[in-house]
């Protein structure tokens, strides 16, 4: 087997016990979204792409034809992003949007392969201040983001690419469970 695929298989085996956590998150998320709440998602680089993939599955559809869910990838509004970075600093780009768009009872999903990104940590703190449930998908624990969020799944893999690929599998499990919960 190719080395890359072997690393992925090993990481997937190590997180298999977390499938119940992801499915529980999906059930909770499905209830929040069906009741009119929203999902906010953030990350940097490849994790931002994963966050946008997640929100696209929810606004569009994953498997089932259903009403669209309110899901916002916080990095995708470039005008707000650059204005916030210019006026308040890059560490505030997500936190300010969490304060603007988040309501008590909403959900914030933070993706970070390191679990140390200052702007993602600030978003998680903003979620706490607003009464927003926060979940983290991270790389190896311990890390500050996993400690800060209400719940976290940390992928025990050394390579960023492997962590991101496992995150994508978890995102699809989350979407599947959210649609099942409706």
> Residue 90, SS3?
helix
Residue 182 has pLDDT above 80, yes or no: no
Spatial distance between the Cα atoms of 58 and 34, rounded to a whole number of angstroms: 11
Calculate mean pLDDT across residues 85-110. Answer: 98
Quote the pLDDT of residue 113.
98
Residue 28's pLDDT band, with cuts at 50, 70 and 90, is very high
Model pLDDT for residues 106-150, shown as the tens digit of each residue: 999 999 999 999 999 999 999 999 999 999 999 999 999 999 999
Quote the pLDDT of residue 64.
86
Model pLDDT for residues 64-77, shown as the tens digit of each residue: 899 999 999 999 99
- Copy the structure tokens of residue 86: 């210019």
Mean pLDDT across the chain: 97
Model pLDDT for residues 164-175, shown as the tens digit of each residue: 999 999 999 999
Q: Report which of 40, 31, 69, 71 is spatially closest to residue 55, judged by C-alpha positions.
A: 71
Residue 159 has pLDDT above 90, yes or no: yes
Lowest-confidence region among 78-82, 118-122, 148-152, 178-182: 178-182
Q: What is the DSSP string of 125-178?
A: HHHHHHT-EEEEEESSSS-HHHHHSSEEEE---SSHHHHHHHHHHHHHHHHHHH
Packing angle, helices 3-15 and 160-180, rounded to 10: 50
1 CB neighbour count, 10 Å cutoff:
8
Calculate mean pLDDT across residues 46-50. Answer: 98
**By the 8 A CB rule, do 94 and 42 touch?**
yes
Whether omega for the bond prior to residue 6 falls within 30 degrees of 0, making it cis, is no
Sheet holding 133-138, edge to edge: 70-73, 38-42, 107-112, 133-138, 151-154
């Amino acid at each position: 087997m190719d080395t890359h695929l072997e690393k992925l298989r090993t990481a997937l085996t190590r997180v298999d016990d977390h499938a119940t956590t992801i499915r529980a998150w999906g059930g909770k998320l499905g209830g929040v979204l069906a009741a009119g709440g929203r999902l906010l998602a953030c990350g940097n680089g490849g994790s931002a792409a994963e966050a946008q993939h997640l929100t696209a599955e929810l606004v569009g559809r994953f498997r089932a034809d259903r009403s669209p869910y309110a899901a916002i990838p916080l990095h995708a509004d470039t005008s707000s992003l650059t204005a916030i970075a210019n006026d308040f600093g890059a560490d505030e780009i997500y936190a300010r949007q969490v304060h603007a768009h988040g309501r008590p009872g909403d959900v914030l999903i933070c993706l970070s392969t390191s679990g140390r990104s200052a702007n993602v940590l600030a978003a998680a703190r903003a979620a706490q201040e607003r009464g927003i449930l926060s979940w983290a998908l991270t790389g190896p624990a311990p890390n500050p983001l996993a400690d800060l969020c209400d719940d976290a799944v940390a992928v025990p893999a050394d390579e960023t690419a492997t962590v991101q690929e496992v995150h994508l599998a978890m995102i699809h499990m989350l979407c599947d469970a959210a649609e099942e919960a409706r």
